[in-house]
Amino acid sequence: MTSAISLDEQAVMPTAPRPARRSIAQLLPSRSPKLVVGLSIAGVIILWAIIGPLIVGNPNAISTSMFQTPGTAGHLLGTTQTGQDVWSQIAYGTRGSLIIGFSVGIISTVLSAIFGILGAYIGGALDETFALFTNIVLVIPGLPLVIVIGNYIPVNQRGLFLIAIVLALTGWAGSARVLRAVTLSVRNRDYVAASRVSGEKTWRILVVEILPNLIPVMASQFVFAMIFAILGEAGLSFLGLGASNSFTLGTILFQAYNDLALTQGAWWWFVPPGLVIALFGCALSLINFSIDEIINPKLRNSTRAVRKKWGLSPAQIRQLDEEQIK
Amino acid sequence: MPPGPGFVKESRTVQFYLKKLVFYVVALWAAVTLNFLIPRLMPGNPVDVLIAKMGATGQPVTRQTREALAIALGQGNSTNWFVQYGEYINNLVHGNLGVSIVDFPASVTTVISQALPWTICLIGLSTLISFLLGIGLGVLAGWKRGSWLDNLIPVTTMFQAVPYFWLALILVLLLTRLTHFFPFAGGYNVYGGLVPGFTPQFIGSAVYYGFLPALTIVLSSVGGWMLGMRNMMVSTLSEDYILTAEAKGLKPSRVRLTYAARNAVLPSLSGFAISLGFVVAGSIVTEEVFSYPGIGQLLWTAVSNDDYALMQGIFLVISVSVLVANLVVDLLYALIDPRTRARS
């Protein structure tokens, strides 16, 4: 019952806290075309990864119609060397790659939060140790390490999630360093000191006072980790060290390359998987751009597109440009 | 007598460099130890893997084979990890990384030393080109916000979201298969009777063969530098000291470079480690596509032939090279930003 009441209260209240709502609306860059385009492309690809495998045929089904060009005999994107349908493979591959992307995003965000935020907030020897550890992980090259680890894991144990864990373990350090820097600057602000003086508990200061300020940065790091993971997995799979018995966009590219799609000119086999990765990565980058513009308003205020919205005439905009640009 | 300000400044500088050096020694130790631990912590035993492979191909497998393999892979007779670690470090100090299976009986050190110059030239040069190009374009894009160059940035970041090796595949398809502008494999013209050396013919051939791999790396990595630099330029340009510099009537080019760009480039340098990781990862796979005779190609050969000694040697060499590159960038950072020296 209590939850229902609190919900009702929120429903009744909107007339009073209008400024609060407006500030949330300001925080969300709803009119940013970058965000809209990014979210739409990412949304379509995520939706396809969920629904696609349910409606396409078996990606492993081989047939005698090999190296069919796109559009022939029910094969929307042609067939592979063994007559498998590329379109079905891509549906499954997109799902595999996205599972890896999301898992790595979550794991490495948690890891970077522990090493970045916690260390920086508590400070002292713990912070020094965490920072040193983070920097060491950062300078040790990730993919070669993943390749070495991947090669020691027997093929039958090399599942999607294991690959995700290995990628996350080598990829969290960059975000941890960014989060540490932001946390250090937030924890020294006056309002944090005020809540400390007023006797708030440590965890409460961390969760209620500091964490909300870090959410945009964490979101952007999450998106970054996803791009890193999908690209890393593709590279790993391309070297033949990817997840066994599951489709990812990387394993499709690996098969295409090894079955001489390049020499056969079977572009429909290796161009689309890369395009999906590129599109998804691009969409995530666009989302990251708009998050950056929330974090750093300087990036958002001075573009030509924004100036147009001020209702100035083209001549005035040109003049403004010339004043700003020498 | 208290030391003068010059002395304090100097000791701080020394302290800064000392601190950096200590960090890189610790990082080196971590990489070396990791390299030692991975084979011992992983479920798969390389000896078992090789024995299984030999059995599958019908080669005779005896107890002696197993022991010989264990010794060849550096597992030795001792089961004590501390003794093994001591042996491992001792071997490393003497440059002994074991024997390669792929190029038996060549030592891992020899095999790697043949491939390393190719990779260092390729990655080193293309990273340098990409860094300078990206920073330069970023300065211009940030200076002229909203210009066509600035609007180009989303396009360049799209290249960044593309897997390196896929871009390489596309370039191979377009420029070597459909049109025959470039050779599709190798590091130089092997059939032309060229001998590696500092002859103009050889260098010309190496540049011609290395052009596409380098183009792949530059295209994929330039966007990141450009975006980072552009954003920092925009932030820096709104600082008060830029306004002061303008008010003083300084030349725009001076404001742009000495006042804005020098400050804006710092985060790009401190983020160099992250970016370099990406470049190295991408280049390893790119080399495979172009059959470039470098470390990446070698790593792939080692992986596909279960050559564990070679693989670990390569990991070590890549780690050390990356550490050295980061050290150089850190020292450069201190050179550009005197505050780091003063503060430490």
Structure confidence by residue, pLDDT tens digits, B140-162 = 888 887 778 877 777 777 777 88
Please say if the pLDDT value at position A29 is more than 60: no
Interface contact flag, A277 B274, Cβ < 8 Å: no
The C-alpha of B60 sits at a distance from chain A's nearest C-alpha, in angstroms, of 23
Interface contact flag, B161 A132, Cβ < 8 Å: no
- Among chain A residues, the shortest Cα distance to B37 is held by A149
Of B146, B173, B303, the CB nearest to A262: B173
- Among chain B residues, the shortest Cα distance to A233 is held by B163
For B64-108, how does the pLDDT look when each residue is reduced to its tens digit (9 = 90+)?
777 777 766 655 555 677 787 887 888 888 777 777 777 767 788
Mean pLDDT (chain A) is 77
Q: Which residues does chain B have within 8 Å of residue A257's beta carbon, measured at their own beta carbons?
A: 169, 289
A62: containing domain: 30-68+76-295
Vertex B116, ends B114 and B122: CA angle to 5°? 125
Residue A317 belongs to some domain of the structure: no
Of B162, B231, B311, the CB nearest to A277: B162
Of B27, B164, B304, the CB nearest to A139: B27
Angle between helices B164-172 and A249-258 (to 10 degrees): 30
Residue of higher predicted confidence among B90 and A99: A99
Interface test with B, best of A231, A262, A319 (most B CBs within 10 A): A231
**pLDDT mean over B317-322:** 88
Mean pLDDT (chain B) is 80
Interface contact flag, B231 A136, Cβ < 8 Å: no
Cβ atoms within 10 Å, residue A159? 14
Of residues B302, B326, B315, B318, the one with CA closest to residue B37: B315
Residue B197 host element (H or E): none
The answer for B 150-209 residues in CB contact with A (under 8 A) is 150, 154, 157-158, 160-167, 169-170, 172-173, 177
Using an 8 Å Cβ cutoff, are B303 and B237 in contact? no
Of B150, B157, B315, the CB nearest to A144: B315
In this complex, is the C-beta atom of B314 within 8 Å of any C-beta atom belonging to chain A? yes
The tokens describing B334, both together, are: 């201190």
Of residues B274, B323, B333, B329, the one with CA closest to residue B27: B323
**pLDDT mean over B8-19:** 74
Q: Which residues does chain A have within 8 Å of residue B145's beta carbon, measured at their own beta carbons?
A: 302-304, 324-325
Candidate from A16-25, A201-210, B156-165, B315-324 with smallest mean pLDDT: A16-25
Q: Which residues does chain A have within 8 Å of residue B255's beta carbon, measured at their own beta carbons?
A: 326
In this complex, is the C-beta atom of B42 within 8 Å of any C-beta atom belonging to chain A? yes
Half-sphere exposure at residue B187, Cβ-oriented, CA atoms within 13 angstroms = 22
Residue of higher predicted confidence among A107 and A64: A107
Q: Which residues does chain A have within 8 Å of residue B74's beta carbon, measured at their own beta carbons?
A: none
Please say if the pLDDT value at position A107 is more than 90: yes
Question: Could you give the CA distance from residue A134 to residue A115 in angstroms, rounded to a whole number?
Answer: 7
- What interface predicted TM-score (ipTM) does this complex get? 0.78
Q: Which residues does chain B have within 8 Å of residue A285's beta carbon, measured at their own beta carbons?
A: 154, 157-158, 160-161
Of A144, A234, A302, the CB nearest to B299: A144
The C-alpha of B275 sits at a distance from chain A's nearest C-alpha, in angstroms, of 10
CA separation, residue A268 to residues A66, A86, A208, A238, B306 (Å): 12, 8, 51, 17, 32
DSSP secondary structure letter of residue A68: P
Peptide bond into B105 cis (omega under 30): yes
Q: Assign residue A260 the CATH number of its domain.
A: 1.10.3720.10
Candidate from B42-46, B148-152, B219-223, B332-336 with smallest mean pLDDT: B42-46
CATH 1.10.3720.10 positions along chain B are 115-343
The tokens describing B253, both together, are: 């080019």
Peptide bond into B5 cis (omega under 30): no
- Residue corresponding to tokens 């027997």: A154
- Among chain A residues, the shortest Cα distance to B288 is held by A239
- Among chain A residues, the shortest Cα distance to B159 is held by A278
Candidate from A77-81, A306-310, B230-234 with smallest mean pLDDT: A306-310
The C-alpha of A263 sits at a distance from chain B's nearest C-alpha, in angstroms, of 8
Each as own residue / partner, the long-range contacts of residues A122-127 (CB below 8 Å, 24 or more positions apart, any chain) are A127/A180
For A275-299, how does the pLDDT look when each residue is reduced to its tens digit (9 = 90+)?
888 888 888 888 887 887 777 766 6
Q: Which residues does chain B have within 8 Å of residue A258's beta carbon, measured at their own beta carbons?
A: none
The second-level CATH assignment, the architecture, of B115-343 is: Orthogonal Bundle (1.10)
Interface contact flag, B306 A151, Cβ < 8 Å: yes
High-pLDDT (> 90) share of chain A, %:
6
Question: Could you give the CA distance from residue A253 to residue B166 in angstroms, rounded to a whole number?
Answer: 8
Q: Map residue B29 onto helix, strand or coil.
A: helix
Please say if the pLDDT value at position A61 is more than 60: yes
Cβ atoms within 10 Å, residue A203? 8
In this complex, is the C-beta atom of B44 within 8 Å of any C-beta atom belonging to chain A? yes
State the pLDDT at residue A77. 66
- Among chain A residues, the shortest Cα distance to B327 is held by A139
Interface contact flag, A235 B46, Cβ < 8 Å: no
State the pLDDT at residue A109. 92
CA separation, residue B30 to residues A246, B112, B287 (Å): 34, 21, 27
Q: Map residue A325 onto helix, strand or coil.
A: coil
Q: How far is CA B273 from the centre of its chain?
A: 9
**pLDDT mean over A206-222:** 85
State the pLDDT at residue A319. 65
Cβ atoms within 10 Å, residue B93? 8
Candidate from A97-111, A218-232, B155-169, B248-262 with smallest mean pLDDT: B155-169
Candidate from A45-54, A72-81, B211-220 with smallest mean pLDDT: A72-81
DSSP secondary structure letter of residue A29: -
**pLDDT mean over B297-313:** 83
Question: Could you give the CA distance from residue B279 to residue B291 in angstroms, rounded to a whole number?
Answer: 18
Interface contact flag, B163 A284, Cβ < 8 Å: no
**DSSP tally for chain B: helices H, then strands E:** 16, 0
Question: Could you give the CA distance from residue B108 to residue B101 in angstroms, rounded to a whole number?
Answer: 9
State the pLDDT at residue A110. 93
Number of domains in chain A: 1
Residue of higher predicted confidence among B215 and B180: B215
State the pLDDT at residue A317. 62
DSSP of A98-149: HHHHHHHHHHHHHHHIIIIIIHHHH-HHHHHHHHHHHHHHHHS-HHHHHHHH
φ, ψ of residue B59 to 5 degrees: the values are -80, 150
Residue of higher predicted confidence among B19 and A322: B19
A8: pLDDT confidence band, cut at 50, 70 and 90? Answer: very low
**pLDDT mean over A107-121:** 89
Question: Could you give the CA distance from residue A292 to residue A298 in angstroms, rounded to a whole number?
Answer: 10
**pLDDT mean over A229-243:** 85
Of residues B109, B87, B121, the one with CA closest to residue B211: B121
Q: Which residues does chain A have within 8 Å of residue B27's beta carbon, measured at their own beta carbons?
A: 135-136, 139-140
In this complex, is the C-beta atom of B30 within 8 Å of any C-beta atom belonging to chain A? yes
The tokens describing B186, both together, are: 């190798």
For A264-273, how does the pLDDT look when each residue is reduced to its tens digit (9 = 90+)?
777 787 888 8
Residues B313-343: b if buried by 16+ CB within 10 A, e if exposed: bbbbbbbebbbebbbebbeebbeebeebbee
Q: What is the pTM of this model?
A: 0.79
Cβ atoms within 10 Å, residue A240? 17
The tokens describing A326, both together, are: 């020498």
Interface contact flag, B281 A232, Cβ < 8 Å: yes
B278: pLDDT confidence band, cut at 50, 70 and 90? Answer: confident
Of B27, B49, B169, the CB nearest to A270: B169
Q: How far is CA B91 from the centre of its chain?
A: 25
Question: Could you give the CA distance from residue B287 to residue B338 in angstroms, rounded to a whole number?
Answer: 39
Residue A322 belongs to some domain of the structure: no
**pLDDT mean over A218-228:** 87
Interface contact flag, B303 A154, Cβ < 8 Å: no
